[in-house]
Amino acid sequence: MSAATQPTTPPSPVNPFDLAFHIDIFLIAFAGVFALFALPRAVARFSRVAEWRQGHILRAIPLERRAPRPPVMRSVQSLAFGAPAADNVTSEESHTLHSDTHLIRHPAAKQEGWSLPPHVRAWSSRVPTFGSILRYRLETGFSAGQALVLLVYFSVLVYAGLLKSNPFSDPLRTGFVAMSQIPIVYLLATKNNLLGMLIGAGYEKVGVYKILNQHAPTVYVQLNYIHRFAGIILVVASNVHSIGYIYEWTLDGTISDRIRHDPMVQWAFVTLISVDFLYIFSLPFFRRRAYNVFYCSHVVFFILFLPAVRPYICHISNLEIDIHIQVYGHQRSVFPYVIAAAGIFGLDLLIRLIKTRVYNARIRPIPDLMLTRIEIPQLNAGWRAGQHVRIRVLSSGLGWFGWAESHPFTIATAAKTPEGMILLCKKAGGWTGRLYEMAKVAGYGSDEGAFGRMVQVMIEGPYGGPGHCVFASYSAAIFFVGGSGITFALSAVQDILQRDSEGASRVKIIEVIWTVPDSASLTPLVPQFAALIQQSIYAPLKISVHYTRASDNPPGKDFLPPGLTLSAGRPKLAKVLDAVISRAVSYGSGVKASMDITGVVVGVCGPEGMGDEVAQAISQVDDGRRWAVGGIEMHEE
């Protein structure tokens, strides 16, 4: 090869491959710090054999038949225990009437021994001041803790790119920085990755489209924002690397010949185009308004990128072989980065295949909530409260390609219940709209006259969930949810009550605060709310529903069972949280009166702003009260 076609870049005094390798080792060690901090909670969680069988693989199991509990006559007890009578309530507060008699436990006590889950306080509870600083929201959905992680990450990569190098005169270095990010981007893009399992954070944090197809709020340990940031670094470094060589080739007048005659340069441009289109179709406009375009482009360009990048590396090696044998060796050694990314991607596909099930499901419309209810009674085990699944409906009723679309929905029931898996799918877009319309065209089937339409579904999961956080290990649980985020609260409450009936829960107080636009949203869920309140034998459950739009005919007080309230306006989060803390410290009946106070867990699922408001309310709690209750921990879905 002639000297005229060789790049003018002098060899770097720093071995770029070794530098890129040590960058990744440092980033792995940095992630290992978070895994180390999460280790005590992971050990506590998996110390119970049952946890090894939950949250990983969906399955169907035979359920034990239990004798029904004696009924609790709360409506009769209401006047006897001092609940206000209807005549004593003004018209202004009549629709928010509720009775505290649901706090009275049934005299039938649990005969079996209690097997309480171990509780390990999170580090944010041990050092609440530091935790409050990390939770501080710099903007909606973005905390100071996240910013700190990204700052460390960015500083390491800038150091690698500038150490004894100038990106304008040494474009090779930025190429190796880009190469170092390939396995990380692929790892954090997969739904099954070791890092998430170790620190207890799922792939979907800040990125999965919940029932409303909106982004969920975040905390600093979640992963998807790092995937996006690493992807941006990969795009920027690749473009700087490419522009540097294009500039050099333009100066020596060889760029036209290289593009026309050198297939390795042609593949280099395929690589560059792939990463650039990955970035373009990842912009919020496509993620929120054209999710299928975002998803399909990711799949296509991610697959195209890996085989395209390998010839690019070989091309630079061939250019340098006559003069710089050392550079040739380094660039050929980058091949393991590509192999690692391909291995990560392939392993994820294999695990997803293992976690996929096909079942017949019944779909029913819920007009008051504009929801489609998907019932899969045969599938009744393998998930944890708060987890979600990805579902495909294999029906031509969704259009030509509707069967190929996979959508994530939070599971609305706890595992090991007779009703099996229930999904509530909000009508929010094209696919969910067609699913709702298909459910409306339903009739009474042969299955005991049940109303609905039978369809075949492909279910993949479960994913996400509370990680190493075990709701049943806290003294109190409070859930702030908005709109269809009620599915998260329903499954979590049902799981706590189920564990409570088995003597495996420390929870003394459970409270659900549900904010909806219209009071009519409450109507279809009143029977389920009443059933949950009736089941709260050992831990009182209170459900407060708040509607934000004016309503001419809200449900009356006689329509609501004790323990369920309906109020106009948004909830006062700080006041509710303070009341729960007070009750957690002072309240306890029977065995639970003597239990240690193990803190309050606050679950949040709803619009982005809701998570920010709850985080602010938690940060305002006095340190003394926070310490007295054993800490306050926040989990966002």
The C-alpha angle with vertex 178 and arms to 176 and 179, in degrees rounded to 5, equals 60
Pairwise CA distance, residues 495 & 413, whole Å: 8
Indicate the burial class of 552 (C-beta count within 10 angstroms; 0-12, 13-18, 19 or more): exposed
Q: What percent of the chain has pLDDT over 70?
A: 79
Give the pLDDT band of residue 204 (cuts 50, 70, 90). Answer: low
pLDDT mean over 310-318: 46
At residue 195, the pLDDT reads 83
Per the domain annotation, does 248 fall within a domain? yes
Q: Are residues 318 and 416 in the same domain?
A: no
Grouping H, G, I as helix, E, B as strand and the rest as coil, residue 545 is strand
**What's the domain range around 593?**
471-636
- Among residues 350, 383, 415, the one where a domain terminates is 350
pLDDT mean over 387-400: 89
With a cut of 60, say whether residue 5 has pLDDT above it: no
Per the domain annotation, does 328 fall within a domain? yes
Q: Are residues 279 and 362 in the same domain?
A: no
Q: What is the pLDDT of residues 452-504, one digit of tens each?
A: 889 999 999 899 888 888 999 999 999 999 988 999 999 999 999 999 888 88
Number of domains in the chain: 3
At residue 113, the pLDDT reads 56
At residue 76, the pLDDT reads 29
At residue 324, the pLDDT reads 35
Q: β-strands 476-482, 371-376: how paired?
A: unpaired
Q: Are residues 307 and 446 in the same domain?
A: no
Per the domain annotation, does 3 fall within a domain? no
Grouping H, G, I as helix, E, B as strand and the rest as coil, residue 543 is strand
- Can you say whether residue 364 is alpha, beta or left, with left for phi > 0 and alpha for psi between -120 and 50 degrees? beta
pLDDT greater at residue 629 or residue 202:
629
At residue 377, the pLDDT reads 93
At residue 467, the pLDDT reads 86
The C-alpha angle with vertex 332 and arms to 327 and 335, in degrees rounded to 5, equals 140
Q: What is the pLDDT of residues 46-58, one digit of tens each?
A: 988 888 888 899 9
Per the domain annotation, does 341 fall within a domain? yes
Residue given tokens 């071995």 in the structure block: 15
At residue 115, the pLDDT reads 81
pLDDT mean over 551-575: 83
At residue 137, the pLDDT reads 81
Give the pLDDT band of residue 602 (cuts 50, 70, 90). Answer: very high
pLDDT greater at residue 204 or residue 193:
193
Per the domain annotation, does 129 fall within a domain? no
At residue 222, the pLDDT reads 61
With a cut of 70, say whether residue 584 has pLDDT above it: yes
With a cut of 50, say whether residue 181 has pLDDT above it: yes
Query: How far from the centroid of its chain's Cα atoms is residue 509's Cα?
Result: 25
Q: Are residues 208 and 345 in the same domain?
A: yes
Which CATH number goes with the domain that contains 508? 3.40.50.80
Residue given tokens 């004593």 in the structure block: 88
Nearest to 614 by CA among 636, 588, 592, 591: 636
Q: Are residues 417 and 511 in the same domain?
A: no
At residue 358, the pLDDT reads 95
Per the domain annotation, does 587 fall within a domain? yes
At residue 459, the pLDDT reads 96
With a cut of 80, say whether residue 245 has pLDDT above it: yes
pLDDT mean over 397-421: 88
Give the pLDDT band of residue 531 (cuts 50, 70, 90). Answer: very high
Q: Are residues 490 and 618 in the same domain?
A: yes
- Among residues 305, 328, 350, the one where a domain terminates is 350
Q: What are phi and psi of 254, to 5 degrees?
A: -110, 0
Q: Are residues 253 and 185 in the same domain?
A: yes
Query: What integer best gives the mean pLDDT of the chain?
Result: 79
Give the pLDDT band of residue 347 (cuts 50, 70, 90). Answer: very high
The C-alpha angle with vertex 298 and arms to 297 and 300, in degrees rounded to 5, equals 65
Three-state secondary structure along 329-389? HHHHCCHHHHHHHHHHHHHHHHHHHHCEEEEEEEEEEECCCCEEEEEECCCCECCCCCEEE
With a cut of 80, say whether residue 31 has pLDDT above it: yes
Our CA dihedral for 558, 564, 570, 573, rounded to 10 degrees, sits at 150
Q: Are residues 560 and 601 in the same domain?
A: yes
Q: Which amino acid is at 260?
A: R
Per the domain annotation, does 51 fall within a domain? no
pLDDT greater at residue 5 or residue 26:
26
Q: Are residues 560 and 632 in the same domain?
A: yes
Residue partners of 275: CB distance under 8 A and separation at least 6: 234, 235, 238, 239, 301, 305
At residue 515, the pLDDT reads 93
pLDDT mean over 392-408: 86
With a cut of 80, say whether residue 540 has pLDDT above it: yes
Three-state secondary structure along 121-180? CCHHHHCHHHHHHHHCEEECCEEHHHHHHHHHHHHHHHHHHHCCCCCCCCHHHHHHHHHH
Q: What percent of the chain has pLDDT over 90?
A: 31
- What radius of gyration do the chain's Cα atoms show? 28
pLDDT mean over 424-432: 86
Q: Are residues 492 and 422 in the same domain?
A: no
Q: What is the pLDDT of residues 259-274, one digit of tens each?
A: 888 877 888 888 899 9
Give the pLDDT band of residue 333 (cuts 50, 70, 90). Answer: low
- Among residues 463, 495, 523, the one where a domain terminates is 463
Nearest to 213 by CA among 460, 479, 495, 405: 405
User: Is-contact 183 20, C-beta < 8 A?
Assistant: no
Q: Are residues 223 and 270 in the same domain?
A: yes
- pTM over the 0.85 mark: no
Q: Are residues 359 and 267 in the same domain?
A: no
Pairwise CA distance, residues 328 & 318, whole Å: 7
pLDDT greater at residue 349 or residue 94:
349
Which CATH number goes with the domain that contains 367? 2.40.30.10
At residue 213, the pLDDT reads 31
Nearest to 489 by CA among 444, 545, 537, 428: 545
Indicate the burial class of 66 (C-beta count within 10 angstroms; 0-12, 13-18, 19 or more): exposed
Q: Which amino acid is at 302?
A: F
Pairwise CA distance, residues 349 & 344, whole Å: 9
Pairwise CA distance, residues 479 & 604, whole Å: 6
With a cut of 50, say whether residue 352 has pLDDT above it: yes
At residue 392, the pLDDT reads 93
Per the domain annotation, does 619 fall within a domain? yes
Q: What is the pLDDT of residues 114-141, one digit of tens each?
A: 688 888 888 777 787 787 788 788 887 7
